[in-house]
A and B are shown apart, each in its own frame.
Chain A
Amino acid sequence: MKTASMIRNSDHDFLTRVKESEQDKFAQKAIASAQDAQWVKREGARQELGNWEDWRNLGEQIRQHVVRYLPDYLEEFSDNVEKNGGHVFFAQTDVEARDFIVELAKKKQAKHVMKSKSMVTTEIGIDKALLEIPGLDLLETDLAEFILQEDDWDEPTHLVFPAIHKNRDQVREVFIKKLGYEGDNDPQHLARFARKVLRERFLKNDFCITGCNFAIADNGWINLDTNEGNADLCMAIPKTQVVVMGMERLVPTLKEAETMDNMLARSAVGQKITTYCTFTNRKTADETDGPEDFYVVILDNGRSNALGTDFEPILQCIRCASCLNVCPIYRHIGGHGYGSIYPGPVGSVLSPVLEGNYDDFADLPYACSVCAACSATCPVKIPLHKLLVKHREIMMDDLHQSQLIEDAVMRVVGLGTGHPSLFRPALGVAHTGTSVIAKKNPQNVKNLYEDGKHLSWMPFVFGGWTKERDFPDPPAHKDGFRKWYKTHKPVEADPKVAAHTAQRQQEIKAEKAKRGEAQHD
């Protein structure tokens, strides 16, 4: 089922995107700096909390439990939202979610719509759809999203820091051009200017859209975390609030919400808890502000493709982005390199799942060094690197989808290595074939680079290797290794060295015996 049509955010192919990202030196530097800074903050916050691995076990358990009993929790949550006087709409696709919100905005005659930052609203492309309503203006209230909006809806590049790729001069230029800003490039001055612009708009707000960090099943409330407080102002002032949530964003009770908030803040930004952590619902009759009309849109949009499959753990994700912040690939290609609104390791796993096929995101599982840093940092223990390998397996083994001509090459290799009668002659041919570029001297570690040559360019598919690394010239031996090995006998050890080794072993045994340690040898 192809559903998630809005998550692709670039028309360029993967290699073009990577090339573009490599050329943006500021973004590369900013991301490297952010990763380094976040490492210190995140690891410090986790260490201060203590027992981090046990917290991860708890986080994993809570999220796995919710995913396992997802229909039951959704039923409980939606019953309670309606018991509180709210309304719940189940959207199978992004189109259904988008159409519902657009129709609701028209019905409510909304003029001033505000949003707080939320990945799922980006996923359904609600901004552009609402802007097509005549007379409606829309404002992103998170400072980073506001900057991107004013910069002609530039694409975000990070789940937590969407405008990380922009420097202060670029922000200043945008503010001068679009908002009449006259100040300098000091982030404090820029942010205070934005505060004034945003505050004026907050007070006109008649309709708001928020995401949802966690939805609480047993009371029908939602939980939102921000550092700016923009979501709270969004929710408090207008009479209508629409909450959009991925269907998996549930926790059983307020207690698990509190646990996950603690783990989220530490993982995302190295804080113990975000500055504003709010548990909220449709306003009561006696309260003045807060939404009178409270709508929750629960979105599948391809998430159910993961259920019952190896990819089910991706639904545990709490969008902390710590996997981005440790990923060497994200460090190199940035958010734009992924071509999906969900970048980094989580995006590489999630994007093909949401899409339901590998049409647009087949490259992403291969954009991974399988270093497993993402899996090690994930607060809810999603085995991200294993899921990326699983994507590759499915593409190659089940779907027979090749990357360029790798499939054909590997088929030939498979044929050759599967039959000794073909494999042995092939080794001889390979050895002879490479002899023209072989070193004159025998190969050893010392003369690998010092004494010989190496290739810095190779043609055809091998170019991918030499683009990043040198290719050492092969050794100049007459024979290949296997033939050489058969004709050589083991070299006898130097008697002096052997005697010294035996003596030292005896000494070590004696020392261990003296300390009372067990002898294993």
Chain B
Amino acid sequence: MTDREVFLNNLATKSGRARHQLADNPLVPVNDLPETTLSGKSQDELLEIARKNSEGVHVTFQTTTKAELPATLNAFIKAKLVDMKDDPYQADDHNHLLLPTSDLYADFGLESWKQGLTDPAPTYWKPDASREENIQTAEHAGAAIAFADYLLAESGTITAATTPGQGRTFHFLPVHYLAIVRKSRILPRSRQAMDRYDPMLKSGELVTSNINFITGPSNTGDIEMVLVVGVHGPLDMNYLVVEDM
């Protein structure tokens, strides 16, 4: 392999520009469009924009209240697992409910709901489980319920930083997927999400190796450009916005 210094010196020589000039010439953006586009909206306005754009990317978009949240989740479980026992994916042993290990259940008032789940009994992504064990658990999930960090109104995107209790494949292996997000976490665009993640990463407030921006279900247009949903990840995508938190 080429030594780094040799490699970089070669670039400087070919470009005719000296190295180590960046500190004196930082990038000063020519405009502030990333920050100002879609800015100045109320949370109610953002909610409606998010709803429209999420539905535009084949997302089932719902709102609920903290009080109604357990019932809404139960309806999801019933629709995707309990009422779908003949589904070929469930027949193929993809029939578990996958939940994260998280402190957020208490914030959403879901502790007792979680304890009462029996049909099916939930499986969990566990921080102390092995790589193989967690991946297998996620692979056998007929449905997963995740906690999202933010919802981006412009694109209908949920964002989720990987945590020890909610790993990377948590979002990709289950057959059906629902993300819970609170209304106050709806942001205009991806720039506002970066404006939050970046300082948290730099300060150590957020320790993660991976941030997923997910906009609807996995899809492809690779065969005659016909849109096909669910070629790799979940077959469907559900966002559940909790309004009164």
Contact = CB atoms under 8 A, between A and B. Distances in A.
Given A143-B220, A171-B223, A228-B219, A90 B191 contact: no
> Chain A CB within 10 Å — which of B12, B20, B172 has the most?
B172
Given A229-B233, A304-B10, A281 B218 contact: no
Contacts of B197: 254
A70 B15 contact: yes
A424 interface: no
Interface stretch (A255-263, A366-374, A403-411, A511-519): A255-263
B37 A50 contact: yes
A330 B168 CA distance: 39
Contact of B210 (A30, A91, A143, A281): A281
B47 to A, nearest CB: 17
A253 B198 contact: yes
Nearest to A304: B14
Contacts of B201: 219
Contacts of B4: 75, 78, 88, 90
Interface residues of A, number: 104
A308 B13 CA distance: 9
Interface string A17-54: 00000000000001001100100000000000111001
- Categorize the interface residue count of chain B: 35 or more
Contacts of B193: 258
Given A161-B221, A203-B135, A307-B11, A90 B37 contact: no
Contacts of B231: 143, 191-192, 194-195, 198, 228
A271 B233 CA distance: 19
Nearest to B191: A258
B53 A272 contact: yes
Interface string A139-182: 00111100100000000000001111011100100000000000
A89 B4 CA distance: 8
A56 to B, nearest CB: 10
A236 B152 CA distance: 24
Interface stretch (B22-30, B62-70, B75-83, B110-118): B22-30
A98 B215 CA distance: 34
Given A191-B220, A281-B209, A70 B11 contact: yes
Interface string A424-463: 0000000000000000000000000000000000000000
A183 interface: no
Contact of A262 (B25, B163, B190): B190
Interface in A269-292: 269, 271-284, 286-290
B157 interface: yes
A37 B226 CA distance: 11
Contact of B33 (A51, A232, A253): A51
A100 B176 CA distance: 39
A284 B208 contact: yes
A232 B172 contact: yes
B42 interface: no
Contacts of B210: 278-281, 283, 287, 290
A-B CB proximity, top 9 nearest: A236-B168, A72-B22, A144-B222, A187-B223, A229-B233, A307-B15, A272-B155, A90-B7, A277-B213
10 contacts: A30-B224, A62-B29, A168-B223, A255-B34, A273-B213, A276-B218, A287-B209, A288-B167, A289-B169, A298-B7
Interface of B: 1-4, 7-12, 14-17, 19-22, 25, 27, 29-31, 33-34, 37, 53, 57, 125, 127, 129-131, 134-135, 139, 152, 154-155, 157, 162-164, 167-169, 171-173, 189-191, 193-195, 197-198, 201-202, 207-226, 228, 230-233
Interface of A: 30, 33-34, 37, 49-51, 54-55, 57-58, 61-62, 65, 68-76, 78, 84, 88-92, 96, 100, 141-144, 147, 161-164, 166-168, 171, 187-188, 190-192, 194-195, 198-199, 203, 219, 227-230, 232-233, 235-237, 239, 247, 252-259, 261-262, 269, 271-284, 286-290, 298, 300, 304-305, 307-308, 312
